[in-house]
Amino acid sequence: MSASDNPYASSYGGQMNVSASYGGAAPADDLVKDTTTANFSRDVLEASRQQPVLVDFWAPWCGPCKQLQPIIEKVVREGAGRVKLVKLNIDDHPSIPGQLGIQSIPAVIAFVAGRPVDGFMGAVPESQIRAFIDKIAGPAGADEKAEMEALLAEAKTRFDAGDLSGAADLYGALLQADPENAAALAGIAECMIAVGQPENARQALANLPEAVAADPAIAAVAKKLDQIEEARKLGDPSALEHTLALNPDDHAARLNLAKIRNVEGDRQAAADHLLYIMKHDRAFEDDGARRELLQFFEVWGPKDPATIAARRKLSSILFS
């Protein structure tokens, strides 16, 4: 089954070896088990938050299923806890495969952090099964730091795509392995901010060890929370827009509007307002517009398109 044909395919290549990071391998007798519709949530969704779980959808009448099972069970057991295998008889329990769109068997779907991420169909050879497990769980003996970075990258990709729940699941899985992982803590806080829970985000970052709190990722989120709190006190943006329509050089109103647009996520508008002030009055609040823009850059990050575009415009003003 190719990635283009597989509805569960994702960018989980190089996925974190979760079993290595979550307290070691599972007991051998717990690596392969049967499940039911009633137990699917516990055996698959919850278990996959600790390590990847492969679900083998099969039926007693299916010849290729009988060919695949002893091979995949052997490979899973030899992996000593890198992944688990859960088998579901679709004749006895048709609702789960129906919901997942399983139309032919054998079908093997990998779950990570409570979500299907990849899969294959058919009685594939042992070498292909091993390659699939390496893709999901990371190559055997892979460097843990690289695995963590791969999972962080996937979480960021999901966050940027608007899959906040998926991103939060992955950040949460990382924090189970490393409760003081600054990037994961910052990611969880960003998810909370994105769903309108800045108070929860601030609480998540409270009482961190000094070294973790000083991490640039944590510092940027803390600054973002300060900006949100400040923007709440700056008034109605519509009223500020009206003020600027009457007097475009009301720089105090424009500065406040820039701060509001920033926390609303309209980074281009926020930067443009500050750049306007700089063009017309560098002395305003002792070059306050430039200083505020640099604060925005710290939160947005150096690679953000808004940072790159605004920095170019800033340079043209400073060095023209």
Which positions are catalytic?
62, 65
Output DSSP code: residue 281: -
Question: CA 197, CA 218: separation in Å to the nearest integer?
Answer: 17
* Torsion region of 25: left, alpha or beta (phi above 0 gives left; psi -120 to 50 gives alpha): beta
Is there a contact between 68 and 132 (Cβ–Cβ < 8 Å)? Answer: no
The whole-angstrom distance between residue 99's C-alpha and the CA centroid of its chain comes to: 24
Is there a contact between 109 and 101 (Cβ–Cβ < 8 Å)? Answer: no
Residues recorded for the chain: 320
Is there a contact between 269 and 305 (Cβ–Cβ < 8 Å)? Answer: no
Residue 45: both structure tokens together? 């969704």
Beta partners for residue 56, in sequence order? 87, 108
Edge-to-edge, what's the strand order for the sheet holding 84-89? Answer: 32-34, 84-89, 53-58, 107-112, 115-121
Question: CA 161, CA 115: separation in Å to the nearest integer?
Answer: 16
Pick from 267, 236, 240: nearest CA to 254: 240
Residue 245: both structure tokens together? 């329509």
Continuous segment of H or E residues that includes residue 255? helix 251-264
Quick count: other Cβ atoms within 10 Å of Cβ 277? Answer: 23
Output DSSP code: residue 100: H
